[in-house]
Amino acid sequence: MNSPGLIPVDAELKRDTDAANEAISLQSVMLQVANTGSLGLVILDACRNNPFAAKMSRSLAARAAAGSGLGRIEPVGNVLVAYAARDGTTALDGDGRNSPFAAALLRNIETPGVEVTFMFRNVRDDVMEATRNAQQPFVYGSLSRKAIYLVAAPPADAAATKQANAAPAAAALSAPSATSAGAARWCSRKPRPPS
């Protein structure tokens, strides 16, 4: 598969060639979210290690092309893809119920008046602090100059003082219903059950 594949944590892959049948192409997810009016958003909390490696038999063709999890991608249009860790690095599971990335995302994603790119900057800083700089989340993609808010936009007078590069509130988009989001987690551990 040319595009990185998103594999469920409960998948039972016996051979590396099974991934093509059980995985969802990241490219196909990005194409789906690209059709939105304001923002296509894909959030990947992926550890990037291969939990199937020990039990998986590998085909000769794939041995030469073996990779180390998700690689760098280049979304087009108003699409952002947020990785829990920069391409080529491993995300941590953490000791709590959620990974450091998921915990930081939950703390920041519903904060009113914070533009989406600033929200991901806050997530990045929180994860780097929690992991003592061992993990750096990374966002791929490029947005237009219009400010996009996942939760209510700030009042017009507050927007200029808090976020110097944000567009005026009149031009800002605040439409969570127009935002598409996808999430996947590919880790060596099963997700923790709800407490």
pLDDT in tens, 85-125: 988 788 888 888 999 999 999 999 999 999 999 999 999 99
Q: Count the Cβ atoms, other than its own, within 10 Å of residue 163.
A: 16
pLDDT in tens, 156-166: 766 554 554 44
Q: What is the pTM of this model?
A: 0.70
pLDDT in tens, 8-35: 777 777 777 777 777 788 888 888 888 8
